[in-house]
Every structure is written in structure tokens, then in C-alpha cells.
Amino acid sequence: MITFDHVTKQYGATHALDDVSFEVPTGSITGFLGPNGAGKTTAMRILLGHTRATSGRATIDGQQYAAIGNPARAVGGLLDAQAVHPGRTGAETLGIAAAMIGADRRRVGQVLDLVGLTVTESRRTVKGYSLGMRQRLGIAQALLGAPKALVLDEPANGLDPQGIRAIRDLLRALADDGCAVLLSSHLLHEVAQLADRVVIIGRGRILEAAAIDPSAAQDLENRYFTLTATDDRSAA
């Protein structure tokens, strides 16, 4: 389970996150929704140990990232698909990452298959990858340790419709196998086809958390835009 417990992050007088609390249960997918600058990436960075919270705790199965032994085996994360050495091949990138976390080298081929990167593509240098291929590579790296929690920032970015469907099916299968999946987006319609529940954030505050009823997706979308628009006006 992923848990945010009264997490606040301040930069001077600015609250990037303001008393954020929510959970991502084991075996489920939560869509983390909000406009650009709402606080989604900051929250994920705190969860993955890249940034310290001013107050509160973000944990994976009750432990903060820094306290987990070999954390990549517990939680996989993708925050920036561009943060990859451009001169290495995809296979080399995954091979180095696998060695660093003590994963079996055979896991590289397994995760490449999971995300739909071919052997030929994996032998190309990353500088020649499209954005969608880099996204697939980043998701593959997040899966190397077979984690039971997965944190993805805009995972569909750069993917074509076929790629989006393939990643959607993969994430659903991982959740059904017991993984807690947190994925951020600003596209509610896309998330509504995948997530079990959504958490809507605006200006660093949680505006709503609700289970998704696919038959009421349009109503949820209307509320999403109303909530975020209202929050923008109130902060102006």
C-alpha cells in the first residue's frame, strides 16, 4: 500500500503540497489528477525519496523510501523518461540498472517483452528513441525489481493509441496481481478507462478522492474541470 499522511511541502512561503493525505491500496490503480503545477510530481518525488517533505510522511507498506533495503525491489518509479544516458542502448540501460539492484539478468528480456520493446529496438542507442519508446524503456526499468508498488508520472505521454492500450493492459494485470499503482495525468478521460479510483489535486490541495464508476465518467469529468477551475480562481 502507498500512503500519504498529512504531507506538506513548502518552498519559502509557497505550499507546493498542503496537508495531502490519501492511500493507494494493494491490488489497485489510483489516478492522480490535476493541471500542470498542481503538485502531482512533487508528491511523487517525496514518495520516491527525491525530495524531503516539510512535514508528514509518504510511505510504501509503512516505510519511507530511504528506510527500505534495496528500495527498487519494493517500488518502481518513472518520473522523467528523458533522464537516460543517450549513448547507451536500451538493453545496456536495463542491464546496468538490473546489476545495481541485484536483479537476475534474464529479467531484462522479460521487462522488454512486457512493455513491447523488441530485441532490435533494445539494441539501438537511446538517443535514437522516440518519446514513446523512452516511456516504454522507463516503465521497463521501473519493473526490473518486480516491485509491489509502482509510481508513474504521465506514463502515456508520447505513446500512440496501440501503445496506450498495451500499457493500460499491463498496468491492469500488475494491479490484479497485487501491485499498488499510482499514476499521474491531467487527462481524466484516459485515466477513467484504467483506474479504480481517482485523487484530484489543485494548488497542492486534495480536492476530491473518489472511486470511478465507468458509467458516470462524464459526470466525473465535469466535476474534475469544475473543481480545478474553482481552485485556480480561489488561488488567483
Q: In this structure, are 154 and 142 located in the same domain?
A: no
In which order are the strands placed within the sheet that holds 2-11?
14-24, 2-11, 55-60
Across the range 17-45, mean pLDDT stands at 95
Degrees, nearest 5: CA angle 70-71-73: 80
CATH of the domain at 166: 3.40.50.300
pLDDT at 231 over 80: no
Q: In this structure, are 3 and 102 located in the same domain?
A: no
pLDDT at 234 over 60: no
pLDDT at 145 over 60: yes
Cα-Cα-Cα-Cα dihedral sign, residues 83, 86, 91, 97 = negative
Last residue within a domain, chosen from 146, 165, 181: 146
Q: In this structure, are 44 and 62 located in the same domain?
A: yes
Q: Indicate the residue type of 224.
A: Y
Q: In this structure, are 104 and 129 located in the same domain?
A: yes
pLDDT in tens, 94-142: 999 999 999 999 999 999 999 999 999 999 999 999 999 999 999 999 9
Say what the pLDDT of residue 229 is: 61
Across the range 8-29, mean pLDDT stands at 96
pLDDT in tens, 166-208: 999 999 999 999 999 999 988 787 788 889 999 999 999 999 9
Across the range 6-20, mean pLDDT stands at 95
Domain count, the chain: 2
Q: In this structure, are 102 and 160 located in the same domain?
A: no
pLDDT in tens, 61-105: 999 999 999 999 999 999 987 888 999 999 999 999 999 999 999
pTM of structure = 0.89
Q: Compute the distance between CA of residue 64 and CA of residue 78 in angstroms, rounded to an integer.
A: 18
Q: In this structure, are 156 and 236 located in the same domain?
A: yes
Helix 131-143 vs helix 106-115: crossing angle, to nearest 10: 130
Q: In this structure, are 53 and 98 located in the same domain?
A: no
Say what the pLDDT of residue 184 is: 93
User: What mean pLDDT is reported for the chain?
Assistant: 90
Q: In this structure, are 16 and 123 located in the same domain?
A: no
Say what the pLDDT of residue 218 is: 64
Yes or no: say if 191 and 31 are a contact pair by the CB < 8 Å rule: yes
SS3 (DSSP) at 66: helix
Say what the pLDDT of residue 223 is: 64
Parent domain of 108: 80-146
Say what the pLDDT of residue 157 is: 85
Q: Indicate the residue type of 235.
A: A
Q: In this structure, are 120 and 156 located in the same domain?
A: no
Dump the DSSP string for 143-187.
HTT--SEEEEESTTTT--HHHHHHHHHHHHHHHHTT-EEEEEES-
Q: Which three cell numbers stand for residue 117?
A: 520493446
Helix (H) or strand (E) holding 134: helix 131-143
Q: In this structure, are 157 and 236 located in the same domain?
A: yes
Q: In this structure, are 136 and 182 located in the same domain?
A: no
Q: Compute the distance between CA of residue 233 and CA of residue 21 in angstroms, rounded to an integer.
A: 23
Say what the pLDDT of residue 236 is: 40
Helix 106-115 vs helix 161-176: crossing angle, to nearest 10: 120
Yes or no: say if 93 and 62 are a contact pair by the CB < 8 Å rule: no
pLDDT at 38 over 60: yes
pLDDT in tens, 198-214: 999 999 999 999 888 76
Last residue within a domain, chosen from 146, 165, 198: 146
